[in-house]
Amino acid sequence: MIKSQKRTLNLIAVALACAALAYLLEYLVLAGFRLSYPYELEWEEGAIVDHVRRLLSGNNLYGEPSFEFTPLIYPPFYYYLSALVCQICGVSFFSLRLVSFAASVGSLAVIFRFAQRETGRALYGLLSAGFYAALFEQGGAWIDIARVDSLFVFLLLSAAHVLRFYPSTRGCCAAGALFALAAFTKQPALLVTAIISAACLYANGGRGFLFFVLGFTLPFFGMTALFHYLSDGWYSYYIFDLPSQHGFFAVMLRLFWTRDLLRPLPVACLCLALYLGLSWLDWKRADANEKIKLVYYTLFLSAMLAASWTSRLHFGGASNVLLPAYAAISLLWGTALHGLLSRAYAGSRTSVSDTTDCKVAPFAYLIYALALFQFGWIIYHPARYLPGASDRAAGDRFMQVLASIEGEVYTPDHGFLPALAGKRTYTHIAVLWDIMRADDNAIKRELEAEIEQVFSSHRFAAVIVNNPALTFPWIIERVNKYYRNRGGLLEGTMVFGQINYSELPQKRNPQIFLPRR
């Protein structure tokens, strides 16, 4: 009977490992196919490429808002790193996706190593890494695309790893510097750094905390001051002032926890809550190392959840902002499973690696069964995120029409593609939306006046809009005022659009507008 129980539990453990490995391989294969897709996988990818092209041309990213070019509200580290890759591989979606793909693989490696070091077993590292790969769809299929998010998460995880396992003053300083790079990639790193610094203070004392603060403040504030000076203050406007003027999506106070976390991750959330809750109840009996570990994990998880939650609260925060929360949950997933199983065997003569004790086998069955259920609960069909022949054909047709139009063309939903067709690129509609929904009326009025003049003068031979019903109202009003809709650009049932964005239907027949004469 005991041998049978051990064999069954081992088979379940193998099934878990196979599920994790399958998700990892699925992501790697899927990302491999998506890397070289010549058109956008996500709405703002083209705008990101335009930022890198601007850097490579020697122009400043951060200047007064204009219809010609206005930057997104992100710090520039991803752009600079992508520019280096573009100098080797050429300017393309591939080059920027390569940066994100490498960062995502780095995140998987850090998560694996983290859980392996904490548990002493590669199995739990594999379960944690596989779980993050399994969340590809839940995270909006963002981790391999030309956006800042994968690099941002990789830097956060790397900083957290250094802070946890290298407690020397050098380690604390290096962790602070990595957090600074993360904040120079995306602003929520500031919140993560502030919360997790308390763990550094508890674990490493005042000296370690001082080096952590110096490692963060010197590069971050030094680079911020430099960019502020070089841009005549516009850098601070885009990175700090403008995001603070955007409204809040109050319903996400609840939906973040119910729809984004509990609905897709019921078992993972339960296991983490049980593991941390039971550990805190045993605080008095824990040794110094266990207390440091508990404080660190509690603050790390809280910091990453807070970063995702506050970003989700901002109106326009899409599923990409969930990646820090999902990365933290994945990182702790294997450790929590190991910790719960260790508690089950604490009162017996067996260990987690020896499942022969029939008294605790039922609890082990439950933990393993729930873990298998969680992996199965988030299964997704990869074909949904894989560009097909029809997608490429529609993109080719879009580019043929774009190149055939004599004169300039404005494509508010597409950056970079006009450049491939020999046309100029202009500010992406998402960026205009960031400016127009802010509170700074003087800046808005100047930009509105410029755009009114551009459309009223019929600068463009054509305007191509993905979906007029979903385009920013102020812009489509100007388009309709000075241009007339001549119908779909594509032929027959062809549709063209991004592959990723699951929150709105994006694949459609773009509408072409010609000047009213």
| Residue that terminates a domain, selected from 353, 384, 415 | 384
Q: For residues 329 and 272, is the Cβ–Cβ distance under 8 A?
A: yes
Range 438-449 average pLDDT: 87
Report yes or no on 64 lying in a domain.
no
Q: Are residues 293 and 361 in the same domain?
A: yes
Check if the beta carbon of residue 385 is closer than 8 Å to that of residue 30. yes
311 and 450 inside one domain: no
Q: Give the pLDDT score at 493.
A: 73
Q: Which residue has the higher pLDDT, 111 or 4?
A: 111
Using pLDDT thresholds of 50, 70 and 90, give the confidence band for residue 505: very low
| Final residue before a domain boundary, out of 384, 404, 420 | 384
Phi and psi, residue 511, nearest 5°: -95, 135
Beta bridge mates, 314: 248
> In this model, does residue 350 exceed pLDDT 50?
no
Please give the tally of structural domains in the chain: 2
Residue 261 resides in a domain: yes
Of 207-221, 286-300, 452-466, 467-481, which gets the smallest average pLDDT?
A: 467-481
The CA distance from 402 to 240, in Å, is 36
User: In which domain, by residue range, is 352 found?
Assistant: 2-38+92-384
Map residue 372 onto helix, strand or coil. Answer: helix
Within this chain, do residues 175 and 314 fall inside the same structural domain, yes or no?
yes
- Average pLDDT, integer, range 308-335: 93
Classify residue 370: in a domain, yes or no: yes
Q: Which residue has the higher pLDDT, 310 or 499?
A: 310
Using DSSP bridges, classify how beta strands 409-410 and 511-515 pair: parallel, antiparallel or unpaired. Answer: unpaired
- What's the average model confidence in pLDDT over 228-233? 96
State which of 332, 352, 384 marks the end of a domain. Answer: 384
pLDDT, tens digit, for every residue of 274-300?
999 999 999 999 999 999 999 999 999
- Residue 163, exposed/middle/buried by CB under 10 A (0-12, 13-18, 19+)? buried
| Confidence band for 21, pLDDT divided at 50, 70 and 90 | very high
Between residues 349 and 201, the one the model is more confident about: 201
Residue 78 has pLDDT above 90, yes or no: yes
Q: According to the model, what pLDDT value does residue 300 have?
A: 98
How deeply is 337 buried, as exposed, middle or buried, from its count of CB atoms within 10 A (0-12, 13-18, 19+)? buried
Are 298 and 337 members of one domain? yes
Average pLDDT over residues 401-425: 95
Q: What is the tally of helices (H) and strands (E) in the chain?
A: 20, 4
Contact call for residues 350 and 357 (beta carbons, < 8 A) = yes
Confirm whether 195 is domain-assigned. Answer: yes
Give me the pLDDT at residue 349, please.
43
Q: How confident is the model at residue 498 (pLDDT cuts 50, 70, 90)?
A: confident
Same structural domain, 306 and 392: no
Q: What is the structure's pLDDT at 343?
A: 77
Q: 423 or 366: whose pLDDT is higher?
A: 423
The answer, as to whether pTM is greater than 0.85, is yes
Would 350 be classed as within a structural domain?
A: yes
Question: What's the whole-number mean pLDDT along residues 347-364?
Answer: 54
Query: What's the whole-number mean pLDDT along residues 402-409?
Result: 94
Q: Determine the Cα–Cα distance for residues 465 and 489; give it in Å rounded to an integer.
A: 10
In the prediction, which pLDDT does 396 show?
A: 94
Segment 7-16 long-range contacts (CB within 8 Å, at least 24 positions apart) = 8/365, 9/355, 9/361, 9/364, 9/365, 9/368, 10/355, 12/365, 12/368, 12/369, 12/372, 13/123, 13/368, 15/372, 16/123, 16/127, 16/368, 16/371, 16/372, 16/375
> Do residue 371 and residue 393 come from a single domain?
no
Residue 346 has pLDDT above 60, yes or no: no
pLDDT at 452: 94
* DSSP single-letter state for residue 499: S
179-206 pLDDT, tens digit each:
999 999 999 999 999 999 999 999 999 9
Same domain, 362 and 399: no
Q: What percent of the chain has pLDDT over 70?
A: 93
pLDDT digits (tens, 9 = 90+) for 41-51: 998 999 999 99
Checking DSSP bridges between strand 462-465 and strand 483-488, what pairing results, if any? unpaired
Query: Degrees (nearest 5) of the Cα angle 500, 151, 318?
Result: 40
pLDDT(2) > 90: no
How far the first Cα of the chain sits from its last, in Å, is: 87
Given a cut of 60, whether residue 397 has pLDDT beyond it is: yes
Assigned token pair, 465: 């809009």
- Give the Cα separation of 148 and 355 in Å (integer): 44
Same domain assignment for residues 231 and 359: yes
pLDDT at 5: 64
Residue 328 inside a domain? The answer is yes
Residues 257 and 400 in one domain: no
Mean pLDDT, all residues of the chain = 91
CA angle 340, 123, 287 (to 5 degrees): 45
317 part of a folded domain: yes
Q: Is the per-residue pLDDT at 353 higher than 70?
A: no
Classify 462 as helix, strand or coil. strand
Q: Is residue 278 domain-shared with residue 395, that is, in the same domain?
A: no
**Tell me, what's the pLDDT at 359?**
53
**Coil vs helix vs strand at 34:** helix
**In this structure, are 182 and 300 located in the same domain?**
yes
Region 160-168: mean pLDDT is: 96
Whether residue 305 sits in one domain with residue 443? no
The answer as to whether 245 is a domain residue is yes
Q: Could you tell me the pLDDT band of residue 356, with boundaries at 50, 70 and 90?
A: very low
Is residue 379 within 8 A of residue 27, CB to CB? The reply is: no
